[in-house]
């Protein structure tokens, strides 16, 4: 088993359950609030009210998705940083000069995701990419700061858990405009690994 620099066996360390939340620097907290609530659909659950002894702290707000009818303390937080550079005019998934490539937001079901696609299109939100991955079906949009935002629904585990790597490497590019961008073909989606047979 691999050893860490401290000499301990790497397998001795507990594995985390996953990412708990992400905090994003934004140029204009009100503009970003509108994007994350009105476009993405998260709910604001709190606002930072720092005690006076902490000194000046920039505005910070906290947002949650729906976790089975309950709110989390936050899935996403926004911190205003007026020094953040403006995003490039042409959004790119790869090659943009940002530390965060994209944030993936899961929808609770395929039906909710399809309804979200219709809502986004009706609002005039640009679809940068529509992709069927082997593990998710996704649309990529961007926030006012240039962060990529992937809205997705996860495919049933039995379709990809037999060979996660193959599922991750599968990619089908789809139209980003019109009725074709709102279609989803789950019935003919590929399956990966031994369980898919």
* Assigned domain for 121 exists: yes
* Assigned domain for 187 exists: yes
My answer on whether 125 and 53 are in the same domain is no
* Assigned domain for 8 exists: no
Those residues with Cβ within 8 angstroms of residue 154's Cβ, 6 or more apart along the chain or in another chain? 106, 135, 136
Q: What domain range is 57 assigned to?
A: 17-81
pLDDT category of residue 196 using cuts at 50, 70 and 90: very low
My answer on whether 74 and 140 are in the same domain is no
Q: Annotate 25-61 with DSSP letters as a single string.
A: EES-HHHHHHIIIIIS--EEEEE----GGG-----EE
With a cut of 90, say whether residue 92 has pLDDT above it: no
My answer on whether 65 and 113 are in the same domain is no
What is the value of pTM for the model shown?
A: 0.89
Q: Which helix (H) or strand (E) holds 133?
A: strand 129-133
* Assigned domain for 170 exists: yes
* Assigned domain for 10 exists: no
Other beta carbons within 10 Å of 148: 21
The CATH number for 41's domain is: 3.10.180.10
pLDDT category of residue 155 using cuts at 50, 70 and 90: very high
My answer on whether 188 and 146 are in the same domain is yes
The total number of structural domains in the chain stands at 2
């Amino acid at each position: 088993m691999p050893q860490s620099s401290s000499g301990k066996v790497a397998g001795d360390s507990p594995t985390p359950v996953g990412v708990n939340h992400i905090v994003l620097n934004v140029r204009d907290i009100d503009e970003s609030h509108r994007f994350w609530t009105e476009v993405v659909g998260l709910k604001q659950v709190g606002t930072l009210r720092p005690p006076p002894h902490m000194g000046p702290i920039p505005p910070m707000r906290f947002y949650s998705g729906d976790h089975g009818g309950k709110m989390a303390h936050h899935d996403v937080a926004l911190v205003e940083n007026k020094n953040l550079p403006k995003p490039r005019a042409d959004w790119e998934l790869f090659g943009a000069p940002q530390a965060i490539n994209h944030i993936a937001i899961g929808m609770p079901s395929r039906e909710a995701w399809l309804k979200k696609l219709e809502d986004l299109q009706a609002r005039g939100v640009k679809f940068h990419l529509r992709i069927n991955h082997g593990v998710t079906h996704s649309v990529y949009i961007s926030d006012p700061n240039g962060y990529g935002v992937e809205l997705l629904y996860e495919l049933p585990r039995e379709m990809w858990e037999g060979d996660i790597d193959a599922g991750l490497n599968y990619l089908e590019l789809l139209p980003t405009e019109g009725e074709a961008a709102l279609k989803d073909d789950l019935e003919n989606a590929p399956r990966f690994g031994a369980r898919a047979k």
